[in-house]
Amino acid sequence: MRHHLHALSRLFVLLLLAAAPASFAADADNSPTPKDLKGFAETKRWFSEHRKEFAERQGLMLKRRYDLSDHPAQDAVMSRGKSLQQGVRAKLPAGISWDDLAKMTPEDIRRRDAFPEGYMPLPFPNHPEGGMLFPRMEIDEIKKQEGRDLERFDLDFDLPEHFLPEFPPAMFLTTRPDLGDVSKGKLLTIDNYYELMDGILNPKQLDGLRLLLTPFPQQQFNATDDRRVGRPSLGVTCFDCHANGGTNGATHLVGDIRPQEFRHRIEAPALRGVNIQRLFGSQRALKTVEDFTEFEQRAAYFDGDIGLAAKKGVNVPDRASQVHHMAEFQELLDFPPAPKLGVDGMMIPAKASPAELRGQGLFFGKAKCAECHAPPYYTDNTMHDLKVERFYKPRLIRGMMASADGPIKTFPLRGIKDTPPYLHDGRLLTLDDTVRFFNLVLETKLTPQEEADVTAFLKAL
């Protein structure tokens, strides 16, 4: 399963490293690497023995990047009532203040190595290994409802739960807004979906939902020796990551990039609002939900490897009788209600606070957000290269090469308060961080008060 690198790409990484700051060149916080493990028993023993060590080293890196304390915001909750986290959480390098950063050019920041590490790409908990990784609450709930085990013996999910979306997320249907949250506070599984959804969906949609909740063999979860679960596994369902059609923050490595160091950590996006979107995947830009639904499994889920998928028992869904059913259900998943927005997606003045109205003015003006995030859904349905690498020199962080990310899809901002953490890799823990990040990246020079106003507006979307 490990993706062995070609000698040539190793050389390329080494060359890049020669240009990186000395403190990172050794990548001292990387995890131990296994050597010549033979067979499943040996692999399981080695990884189980080192599991704690991986978690500790990842934890140290997270603490270096972020203030991870549990500090709930007082002015906003997610759709079912979980608190958002408050404040900018990225830490500054020693001797640098946010005021200093605001005055510096990207070139200065890069030269002085002053960019917060928390705004650089975020490594996967064990980047050289990768694969599907679920947060604790998903593992526990699936075990309880289905007796299926989503726990890997080699790795733990890394971000504290207070930075994740509420669990389980609410589920809203474009066809029945009158019903509100149709999940009734439960995690939909193969066990309960029929009872919950019969009478609300047509038979085709109901069958699509069934398939989205049916486990199929996948990369780390299969019946062969090449797995990362103790016992042979029935596999994983679409909604193990896209819980209730939203997200639980499950993470993975993207399949599109080689070598392994350059692959992005990716966080499962909510499928809410796929009906109005035109590009799917942060970089793959597949053109239909049908394509995404069909093709993921053929390439072993984000590993881009058709051979591996075949070996583990790939499920190839039939386009007309299965893929379309699954897609039709996904197309019903609505953004959560935003009671302060009018039909044009703009604040209704009588319902908005002064801060939200000021934030809206800035969003469409000085802060430049609306140039890419256009109402009513706050996306332009295209991709942009934010060129964040202007601010830092390339470096290895825990086995991941932080360098240029390239163009990424403009994710919609409707319902954005429900789906922390932010960006494709989840590197931004709070909305306050996203506003500060874009203020730096776009060089818009917003004052702290203006940043707070934009954040207030985002919470109303």
The answer to the question of residue 30 lying near ligand HEC (CB under 6 A) is: no
| Interaction of residue 24 with ligand HEC, rule CB under 6 A | no
Residues in 128-187 at the binding interface with ligand HEC, rule: CB under 6 A: 132
Residue 57, CB-side half-sphere exposure with 13 Å CA sphere = 19
Q: What are the angstrom distances between the C-alpha of 366 and each of 73, 261, 408, 436?
A: 25, 37, 23, 14
Stretch that binds ligand HEC, among 25-33, 136-144, 369-377, 394-402 (CB under 6 A): 369-377
Q: Considering the complex, what minimum distance in angstroms separates the CB of residue 263 from ligand HEC?
A: 11
- Compute, in degrees rounded to 10, the torsion defined by CA atoms 205, 208, 210, 216: -170
**Using the rule CB under 6 A, which residue among 164, 238, 355, 400 binds ligand HEC?**
238
Per CB under 6 A, which of residues 381..400 are in contact with ligand HEC?
384, 386
Cβ proximity to ligand HEC: between 43 and 434 the closer is: 434
Are the C-beta atoms of 113 and 21 separated by less than 8 Å?
A: yes
- CA–CA gap between residue 400 and residue 202 (Å, rounded): 45
CA angle 80, 81, 83 (to 5 degrees): 135
Pick between residue 30 and residue 126 the one whose CB is nearest to ligand HEC.
126
Verify binding: residue 373, ligand HEC, rule CB under 6 A.
yes
Candidate segments 45-53, 175-183, 192-200, 406-414, binder of ligand HEC by CB under 6 A: 406-414
Q: Which residues contact residue 292 at a Cβ distance below 8 angstroms, ignoring those fewer than 6 apart?
A: 280, 281, 286
Taking CB under 6 A as the rule, does residue 234 contact ligand HEC?
no
20 forms part of the interface with ligand HEC (CB under 6 A):
no
Binding status of residue 332 toward ligand HEC by CB under 6 A: no
435 close to 416: Cβ distance less than 8 angstroms: no
Contact 205, 329 (CB under 8 A): yes
Q: How far is the CB of 146 from ligand HEC (least distance, A)?
A: 15
In the bound state with ligand HEC, the residue whose beta carbon lies nearer, of 20 and 241, is 241
Q: Is 78 in the site for ligand HEC (CB under 6 A)?
A: no
**Separation of alpha carbons 29 and 264, rounded Å:** 18
Q: Is 241 in the site for ligand HEC (CB under 6 A)?
A: yes
Strands 83-85 and 72-77: antiparallel
Say if residue 432 is exposed, middle or buried (CB neighbours under 10 Å; 0-12, 13-18, 19+): buried
**Among 423, 440, 456, 460, interactor with ligand HEC by CB under 6 A:** 423
Q: Which of 47, 124, 280, 377 binds ligand HEC (CB under 6 A)?
A: 280
Closest approach, Cβ 94 to ligand HEC, in A, equals 27
Angle at 272 between CA 433 and CA 288, to 5 degrees: 110
Residue of the chain from 101, 155, 289, 314 that contacts ligand HEC (CB under 6 A): 289
Question: Which listed residue (79, 293, 322, 403) binds ligand HEC by CB under 6 A?
Answer: 293
Residue 266 interacts with ligand HEC (CB under 6 A): yes or no: yes
Q: Which stretch binds ligand HEC (CB under 6 A): 26-34, 168-176, 288-296, 345-353?
A: 288-296
Q: Applying CB under 6 A, does 375 fall inside the site for ligand HEC?
A: no
Query: Counting Cβ atoms within 10 Å, is residue 285 exposed (0-12), middle (13-18) or buried (19+)?
Result: middle
Tokens of 392: 């830092």
Q: Does 210 engage in binding with ligand HEC (CB under 6 A)?
A: no
Which residues have CB under 8 Å from 107's CB, separation 6+? Answer: 390
Q: Kindly state whether residue 242 participates in binding ligand HEC, applying the rule CB under 6 A.
A: yes
Q: 253 forms bridges with which residues in the sheet?
A: 265
CA atoms within 13 A on the CB side of 218: 22
Stretch of 82-90, 190-198, 332-340, 409-417 lying at the interface with ligand HEC (CB under 6 A): 409-417
Alpha helix ranges (H) inside 121-202? 136-146, 193-197
Strands 383-384 and 83-85: unpaired
- Contact between 371 and ligand HEC per CB under 6 A: yes
Question: Does position 368 bind ligand HEC by CB under 6 A?
Answer: yes
Among 13, 20, 234, 250, binds ligand HEC (CB under 6 A): 250
- Asked if 436 touches ligand HEC (CB under 6 A), the answer is no
Q: How far is the CB of 247 from ligand HEC (least distance, A)?
A: 8
Tell me if 254 contacts ligand HEC by CB under 6 A.
yes
CB 159 within 8 Å of CB 249: yes
Residue 213 to residue 334: CA distance in whole angstroms = 18
Binding to ligand HEC (CB under 6 A): which residues in 442-461? Answer: 442, 454, 458
- 151 alpha carbon, distance to own chain's centre: 19
Amino acid at 178: D
What are the residues binding ligand HEC (CB under 6 A)? Answer: 132, 236, 238, 240-242, 250, 252, 254, 266, 268-269, 271, 274, 280-284, 289, 292-293, 296-297, 326, 367-369, 371-373, 384, 386, 405, 408, 410-411, 413, 416, 419, 422-424, 434-435, 438, 442, 454, 458
